[in-house]
Amino acid sequence: MPQQKIAFAAADTEAAQEARERLEARYPHVPPEQATVVVALGGDGFMLETLHRDLERELPIYGMHRGTVGFLMNEYSEEGLEARLAAAEPVKLHPLRMRAVDIRGEVEKALAINEVSLLRESRQAAKIRIHVDDVVRMDELICDGVLIATPAGSSAYNLSAHGPIVPINAGVLALTPISAFRPRRWRGALLPHTARVAFEILEADKRPVSAVADYTEVRDVARVEVAEDRTTSLTLLFDPEHNLEERILKEQFLP
């Protein structure tokens, strides 16, 4: 196997920047445009930034935890990095593609690796109609918001909103309400990854709603369409003893 061409990327935190300096002093590295693998130093937020930045090149990303939350990261160690990269197991992810139309008719598109979330902008609850594959599945959801999460994102905001953790290869997406008022007992749904979901904002002028794809926000939306983008592939690398599927499984048994 040819030697990997490593590029290091680090969050702005002191811990991440210091780790980058030490690793660059120890291992051969190249500029990002010449790399065959990126080692990302930070937390899950920085991992998302790195994945978005390298979407077009589809470079594999190996994260090491130098941030706050490290669910998508491997443990940090300066020892044996090249051997760890050679032994790392790839996990393929497909992001969600959001198409948002605001109340003025302007369209914005964005990709989400974790989730697309709709959130109320004012003191009044949002009213949202949910379509799945062109069929109205919920005529009116009164809520603070609603989100649709990928398996990789199911343990993030989705879990905080009491949505299910989804195994990485389950082939489903989690549709989860955020503080649902009516219907009060609706806890969401699991949808096949091929599902096309549309959110129609009712009384959009009176009850404004924003749509967020990871960290791209569109204000005052009238309609939001979400579907998995199978043409875009992301590769995360994990140490064999620290693989993402096992971590998601373990997360479901935590007290």
pLDDT digits (tens, 9 = 90+) for 207-246: 999 999 998 999 999 999 999 999 998 999 999 876 677 7
pLDDT, average across residues 62-80: 89
Contact partners, residue 80, CB within 8 Å, separation at least 6: none
List 12, 44, 134, 205, catalytic entry: 44
Q: What is the pLDDT of residue 1?
A: 47
| Spatial contact of 249 and 167, defined as CB atoms under 8 Å apart | yes
CATH of domain 96-228: 2.60.200.30
The lowest-confidence range among 83-87, 132-136, 164-168, 201-205 is 164-168
Residue 56, Cβ density class (10 Å: 0-12 exposed, 13-18 middle, ≥19 buried): exposed
Domain boundaries, the chain: 6-93+233-251, 96-228
Q: Which CATH class is domain 6-93+233-251?
A: alpha beta
Average pLDDT along the chain: 92
CA end-to-end distance (rounded Å), the chain: 43
Q: Distance between CA 101 and CA 98 in Å, rounded? A: 10
How many C-beta neighbours within 10 Å does residue 106 have?
Answer: 12
Q: Distance between CA 77 and CA 189 in Å, rounded? A: 39
Decide whether 6-93+233-251 matches 96-228 in CATH topology: no
pLDDT in tens, 196-206: 999 999 999 99
User: Nearest 5°: phi and psi at 107?
Assistant: -110, 135
Q: Distance between CA 16 and CA 28 in Å, rounded? A: 18
Q: Of the spans 36-50, 54-68, 209-223, which averages the highest pLDDT?
A: 209-223
Give residue 54's identity as a one-letter amino acid code. Answer: D
User: Nearest 5°: phi and psi at 36?
Assistant: -110, -10
Pairing of strands 96-102, 107-112: antiparallel
pLDDT in tens, 164-186: 988 888 899 999 999 999 998 89
Would you say residue 255 has pLDDT above 70? Answer: no
Catalytic annotation on 139?
no
Beta strands in the chain (DSSP E): 6-10, 37-42, 61-65, 89-93, 96-102, 107-112, 115-120, 126-132, 135-149, 172-182, 189-192, 197-202, 209-213, 216-218, 221-228, 234-238
Sheet-wide strand order for 89-93: 6-10, 37-42, 61-65, 234-238, 89-93
Q: Distance between CA 70 and CA 182 in Å, rounded? A: 35
